[in-house]
Amino acid sequence: MDNRMKNRWRKGLVAVALLATLGVAARPGEAGEGSALIDRGNGIVEEVGGAGRMWQQERSGALHSLAEAEAYAKALTLGGYTDWRLPTTQELYDLYYLVDVKKAAGVALRLEGNYWATDPDGNGMAGSWEIGDQCEPSRSYFKKKWGYVRAVRP
């Protein structure tokens, strides 16, 4: 395995430092080694071999309030499903993890930017998992004022 590939692999495996107010362990949750993302071809990307979550493939436009983000997810009908919701910060991290460790071959996902999510207490917030500048590759969560929605189900 070359150094570039090792570094990409480490991005998903190294625990990241979080803001103290977030209180989420930043390591893969249910998105383990056997998990992968597949494109269902209907606007949905599905996690297989792990949590079994379904993700909205195309993100929303920029939304500037939690109320807008929640209303967007609640009104979303995609692939015949109407039970879409905002992801938790951990679920969003798991999505980044799968992309970082190349478990999303052939799946087109635009992950850069801020996304609306919920913290462990169910409070909504916008933020982003950003690659840190520490010696080891890692991601840290930073709160923001606005974001996109990438809805998840169940």
Query: Is it the case that residue 42 has pLDDT exceeding 90?
Result: yes
- Is residue 126 within 8 Å of residue 143, measured between CB atoms? yes
Summarize pLDDT for 123-148 with one digit per residue, the tens.
999 999 887 666 655 778 888 999 99
pTM: 0.74
Identify the band that residue 72 occupies on the pLDDT scale cut at 50, 70 and 90.
very high
- Is residue 8 within 8 Å of residue 97, measured between CB atoms? no
- Percentage with pLDDT > 70 across the chain: 73
Nearby residues of 2 by Cβ (< 8 Å), 6 or more positions away: none
For CA atoms 109, 47, 65, 71, the dihedral sign is: positive
State mean pLDDT over 112-118.
94
Nearby residues of 34 by Cβ (< 8 Å), 6 or more positions away: 49, 50
Query: Is it the case that residue 17 has pLDDT exceeding 60?
Result: no
Q: Among 146, 70, 68, which Cα is nearest to 114's?
A: 146
**Predicted pLDDT at 4:** 47
Mean pLDDT score of the chain: 80
**Predicted pLDDT at 136:** 58
State mean pLDDT over 102-108.
84
Kindly give the residue spans of alpha helices, DSSP state H, lying in 14-88: 66-75
